[in-house]
């Protein structure tokens, strides 16, 4: 990385030093400015949107994306990524998230950030300071954006040489510094660019930039309360109630603890009762009453009990200390071009330290364009992405502390080549055809398998000398055990198993399913390859345009899973002592997708369009190979998801509508999507099926053909159609002096939740049943709010050097998932009559209930931008100016187990305290040269 940085600096300086030798170009006066992408979308007859100038914005990237209709984000404070959500779908394959046209495949897993445990999600690692803009397409596709893309795509464009250098200059600089209150930590960015032209029309350009950003979640919510103190009053009230309750109902005064102060008579189980006496008979006896000692001693003991148990009553949504982010990122680009050729080499690096985890992301990319005539417009792209996550041995994942450092790696290689042909059949009929192929290779790996992440292991306690069954731990013994644990050769077992010689001793030969030990919940390993041939055709005939895109995708994959194998090596023969071996699984699939849009340019203010598309996505490795206990949950039989979407809409775009040089844009549409084979995960409860005695070969209810001793989570295809439909609208008007941008979306869906959308708390330690109901944060609610919108309006004064504006955002009703510790109190997927395992065996499946989060108040931001001297811009902004308490929809911590508690004092208590930031002031300095 240092070599690339030095090379970029040399190239920038070279461009500046050669400025005197460059050719002097003729001055050209241009009346019309080139339209920015966020205005150009109103000329495109489909559901597309764009946002510009992200690099210098004072708004965070989530807020910017949420200002686009039909587009949202799943916010996760622990993953360090941006996760676009289109029409209620999020993740690799459902939304094709790209950076400079390269699909992002990173699967980020955070460490525990409180009682709620860790979470994971697909997302892009990109510093907003290097983003020039973002383009979003919904419901249709074209070219490489349609590869494994179910609902649409979001492409983040990074800064280029021409974004930094103004006009025909040879050198440019863009720098910014932002600071604020209420945990808005300072961030800065500096980017240099140089460019040199030569007599033969050839030019060379280079860019280098560095950005630093600190992120804190220890903010004040509306009303001035720190997020960490949000539950403080309720917590103290519960503390007082705990002490008072003990004094009132339990405390028995005595001179010293243990003194007998009397006797009481009652019915108690006979102490001589034998184990086979069921139920034990009760007899009338007198038992002594023991005192609790002096009051002050009892209060000390009661306080001790509170400290030992009070953590489970803390309903703070997360621990801010575990969510601090320190981000450093770099970007460098080289451009070589002439009239017909353009070659761009780029490099990006991002390092993000999040408490006990560090993310390191590196991207290398080559883009080449040859534009020789109307039949040669060749584009070549090659990119290599590598993202590592490094966890130190202090990290906790789903309540289990690591015993050694752990590293995951995601590598992807993308190659894309396409050529565009243009044919003119008449003065009003044109055909543009693009044919290309795309190859994406992707892999997930770990430096070791984390065998310690199993419910009934106590690896860390053993190594720390805190386990009763491993006393007198010498350094030599500890090192030996650590080696066995890391290699998967050490076993501890639950209460119904013994362990000796590294294998299990079974009490029953007819229940092999209960003996699974291994888990594959954390970052399943595997490889993927997507080979795609695509063709896009755009036919203009008179006022009509027909755009048809197709692609054929061939998908190869392999993953790893655990299964039981007999000690003698016979697969499937559980002769008492099976070992659990990790196997490789391979597969191949295909999919054909198409998208068609017909539009009619009746007038600049009236361009109706209609579109229909069939798109698909393949199951992810994380869905197929996630298992909590050996092969329980293994799902390589998942079918591809298919979406059929039709849209009808209207475009309007006109310059000089009311005043000279004003710009008006309007887009409104209705969409309807039906998804077949929708993939989600379910909770399969404990069940048993009666079988036969294999010795006598006769039916016998004492024997079980199959037994699932614990519940488990598994991904399945939903056997009903998932329907999403809604209305989206955008309006933009800019007359220079005054501007307004309005976006609104309203939608409905019947998509089901997943069992992993809500989980039990990890503190105190979950029961066995709760642990196997633990979702490990692999999914969260993705349904969009019922409706939401944003408004940005303001005025420009003093020859447009002063801007005064207001932003308003609104969120309607949204949902969050609810966890029920009793499996059968969760939402039955298909058969309400299945209330227990005896009645329905393994036929019942459960998902999570949801509850409505009421619509939120309007949130107002006020901002001022002033340019005191040329190239220097000072911005001041007050976010959430009226200091409202509100909830951000689709925030991971809305479903946090930390906001659910039960006590005999208060009963079941579900709070919703994951409030967003209160009033925050931001000051920004931006300088361009």
- The confidence band for 497, taking pLDDT boundaries of 50, 70 and 90, is very low
- pLDDT in the model for residue 503: 35
How many structural domains comprise the chain? Answer: 1
**Rounded (10°) CA dihedral 159, 160, 165, 168:** -150
Q: Is residue 772 part of a domain?
A: no
Mean pLDDT, rounded, for 586-592:
97
Each residue's pLDDT tens digit, 368-394: 999 988 789 999 999 999 999 999 999
Q: Which of 290-299, 497-506, 663-672, 685-694 has the lowest mean pLDDT?
A: 497-506
Domain-embedded: residue 247: yes
| Side-chain half-sphere CA neighbours of 43 within 13 A | 9
- In terms of Cβ atoms closer than 10 Å to its own Cβ (0-12, 13-18, 19+), residue 894 is buried
pLDDT score at 275: 56
* The 89-90 sheet, strands edge to edge: 71-73, 84-86, 89-90
pLDDT tens-digit series, residues 165-200:
988 889 999 999 999 999 999 999 999 999 999 988
CA atoms of 856 and 845, how far apart (whole Å): 33
686 pLDDT band (50/70/90 cuts)? Answer: confident
Has residue 245 been placed in a domain? yes
| Cis peptide bond N-terminal to 764, omega within 30 | yes
Query: What is each CA distance from 214 to 119, 324, 325, 479, in whole angstroms?
Result: 21, 8, 6, 38
Residue 296 included in any domain: yes
Q: Does the pLDDT of residue 554 top 90, yes or no?
A: yes
* Domain-embedded: residue 20: no
**Each residue's pLDDT tens digit, 303-330:** 998 888 887 777 888 889 999 999 999 9
pLDDT at 29: 39
Q: pLDDT class for 489, splitting at 50, 70, 90?
A: confident
Each residue's pLDDT tens digit, 743-752 = 999 999 999 9
The pair phi, psi for residue 142, each rounded to 5°, is -160, 140
> Within a domain: residue 414?
no
* pLDDT for 529: 98
Task: Render pLDDT for 267-289 as a digit per residue (tens, 0 to 9).
Answer: 777 777 765 555 677 788 888 88
Could you tell me if residue 301 is inside a domain? yes
Give the pLDDT confidence score for residue 691 in this predicted structure. 53
Task: Supply 96's token pair.
Answer: 């094709």
pLDDT of residue 161 exceeding 60, the answer is yes
Comparing 443 with 198, the larger pLDDT belongs to 443
213 — pLDDT class (breaks 50, 70, 90):
very high
Owning domain of residue 267: 235-310
* Region 855-883 average pLDDT: 97
Is residue 300 in some structural domain? yes
pLDDT for position 710: 77
Which of 464-468, 518-522, 632-636, 648-652 reaches the highest mean pLDDT?
Answer: 648-652
Average per-residue pLDDT in the chain?
87
pLDDT of residue 572: 46
SS3 at position 329: strand
Residue range 583-608: average pLDDT? Answer: 96
Over 90: is that where the pLDDT of 527 sits?
A: yes
What was the pLDDT predicted at 844?
78
Percent of the residues in the chain that have a pLDDT greater than 70, as a whole number: 86
**Which of 68-72, 201-205, 597-601, 844-848 shows the lowest mean pLDDT across its residues?**
844-848
Which pair of structure tokens corresponds to residue 314?
A: 């803390």
- Confidence band for 524, pLDDT divided at 50, 70 and 90: very high
Count other Cβ atoms within 10 Å, centred on residue 808.
14
Q: How far apart are CA 537 and CA 432, in angstroms?
A: 6
Average pLDDT over residues 687-700: 52
The CA distance from 156 to 101, in Å, is 8
Average pLDDT over every residue of 874-883: 98
Per-residue pLDDT, 543: 96
């Amino acid at each position: 990385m240092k070599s690339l940085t030095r090379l970029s600096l040399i190239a920038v300086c070279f461009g500046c030093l050669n400025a005197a030798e460059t050719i002097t170009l003729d001055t050209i006066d241009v009346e019309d400015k080139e339209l920015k992408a966020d205005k150009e979308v109103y000329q495109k007859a489909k559901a597309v949107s764009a946002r510009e100038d992200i690099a210098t914005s004072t708004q965070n990237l989530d807020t910017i994306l949420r200002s686009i209709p039909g587009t949202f984000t799943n916010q996760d404070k622990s993953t360090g990524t941006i996760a676009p959500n289109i029409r209620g779908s999020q993740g690799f394959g459902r939304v094709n998230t790209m950076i400079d046209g390269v699909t992002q495949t990173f699967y980020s897993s955070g460490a525990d950030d409180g009682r709620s445990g860790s979470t994971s999600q697909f997302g892009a690692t990109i510093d907003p300071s290097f983003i020039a803009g973002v383009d979003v397409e919904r419901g249709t596709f074209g070219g490489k954006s349609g590869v494994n893309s179910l609902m649409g795509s979001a492409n983040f464009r990074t800064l280029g040489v021409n974004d930094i250098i103004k006009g025909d200059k040879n050198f440019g600089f863009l720098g910014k510094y932002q600071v604020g209150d209420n945990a808005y930590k300072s961030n800065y960015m500096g980017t240099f660019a140089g460019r040199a032209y030569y007599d033969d029309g050839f030019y060379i350009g280079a860019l280098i930039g560095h950005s630093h950003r600190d992120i804190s979640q220890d903010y004040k919510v509306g009303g001035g309360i720190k997020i960490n103190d949000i539950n403080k009053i309720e917590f103290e009230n519960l503390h007082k109630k705990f002490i008072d309750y003990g004094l009132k109902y339990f405390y028995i005064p005595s001179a010293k603890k243990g003194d007998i102060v009397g006797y009481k008579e009652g019915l108690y189980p006979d102490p001589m009762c034998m184990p086979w006496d069921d139920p034990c008979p009760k007899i009338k006896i007198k038992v002594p009453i023991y005192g609790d000692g002096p009051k002050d001693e009892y209060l000390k003991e009661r306080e001790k009990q509170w400290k030992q148990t009070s953590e489970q009553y803390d309903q703070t949504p997360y621990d801010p200390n575990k969510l601090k982010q320190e981000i450093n990122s770099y970007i460098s680009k080289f451009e070589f071009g002439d009239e017909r050729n353009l070659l761009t080499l780029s490099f990006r690096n991002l390092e993000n330290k999040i408490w006990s985890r560090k993310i390191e992301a590196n991207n290398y990319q080559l883009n080449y364009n040859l534009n020789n005539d109307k039949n040669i417009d060749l584009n070549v792209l090659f990119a290599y992405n590598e993202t590592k996550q490094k966890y130190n041995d202090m990290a906790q994942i789903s309540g289990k502390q690591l015993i050694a450092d752990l590293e995951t790696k995601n590598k992807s290689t993308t190659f894309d080549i396409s050529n565009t042909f243009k044919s003119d059949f008449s003065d009003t009929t044109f055909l543009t055809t693009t044919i290309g192929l795309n190859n994406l290779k992707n892999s997930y790996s770990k430096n070791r398998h984390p065998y310690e992440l199993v419910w009934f292991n106590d690896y860390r306690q053993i190594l720390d000398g805190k386990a009763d069954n491993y006393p007198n731990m010498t350094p030599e013994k500890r090192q030996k055990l650590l080696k066995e644990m890391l290699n998967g050769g050490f076993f501890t077992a639950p209460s119904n198993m013994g362990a000796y010689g590294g294998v299990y001793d079974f009490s029953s030969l007819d229940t092999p399913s209960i003996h699974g030990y291994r888990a594959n919940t954390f970052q399943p390993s595997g490889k993927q390859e997507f080979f795609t041939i695509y063709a896009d055709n755009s036919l203009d005939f008179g006022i009509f345009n027909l755009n048809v895109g197709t692609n054929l995708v061939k998908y190869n994959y392999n993953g790893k899973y655990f299964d039981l194998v007999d000690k003698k090596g016979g697969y499937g023969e559980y002769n008492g002592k099976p070992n659990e071996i990790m196997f490789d699984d391979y597969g191949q699939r295909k999919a054909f997708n198409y998208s068609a849009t017909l539009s009619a340019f009746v007038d600049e203010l009236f361009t109706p369009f209609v579109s229909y598309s069939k798109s698909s996505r393949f199951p992810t490795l994380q869905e197929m190979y996630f298992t909590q206990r050996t092969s329980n949950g293994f799902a390589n039989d998942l079918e591809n998801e298919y979406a059929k979407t039709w849209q009808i809409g209207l475009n309007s775009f006109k310059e000089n509508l009311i005043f000279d040089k004003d710009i008006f844009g309007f887009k409104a549409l209705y969409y309807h999507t039906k998804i077949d084979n929708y993939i989600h995960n379910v909770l399969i409860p404990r069940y048993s099926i009666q079988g036969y005695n294999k010795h006598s070969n006769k039916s016998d209810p004492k024997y079980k053909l199959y037994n699932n001793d614990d519940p488990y989570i598994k991904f399945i295809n939903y056997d009903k159609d998932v329907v999403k439909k809604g209305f989206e609208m955008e309006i933009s008007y800019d007359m220079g002096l005054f501007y307004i941008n309005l976006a609104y979306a309203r939608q409905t869906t019947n998509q089901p939740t997943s069992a992993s959308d809500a989980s039990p708390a990890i503190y105190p330690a979950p029961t066995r049943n709760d642990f196997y109901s633990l979702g490990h944060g692999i999914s969260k609610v993705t349904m969009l709010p019922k409706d939401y919108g944003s408004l940005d309006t303001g005025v420009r004064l003093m020859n447009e050097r002063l801007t005064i504006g207001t932003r308003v955002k609104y969120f309607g009703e949204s949902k969050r998932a609810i966890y029920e510790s009793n499996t059968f109190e969760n939402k039955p997927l298909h058969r309400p009559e299945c209330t227990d395992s005896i009645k329905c065996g393994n036929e019942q499946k459960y998902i999570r209930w949801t509850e409505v989060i009421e619509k939120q108040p309007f949130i107002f931001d006020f901002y001022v931008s002033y340019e005191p001297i040329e190239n220097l811009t000072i911005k001041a902004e007050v976010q959430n100016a009226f200091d409202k308490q509100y909830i951000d929809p689709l925030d991971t911590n809305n479903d946090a187990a930390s906001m659910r508690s039960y006590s005999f004092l208060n009963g079941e208590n579900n709070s919703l305290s994951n409030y967003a930031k209160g009033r925050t002031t931001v000051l920004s300095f931006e300088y361009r040269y």
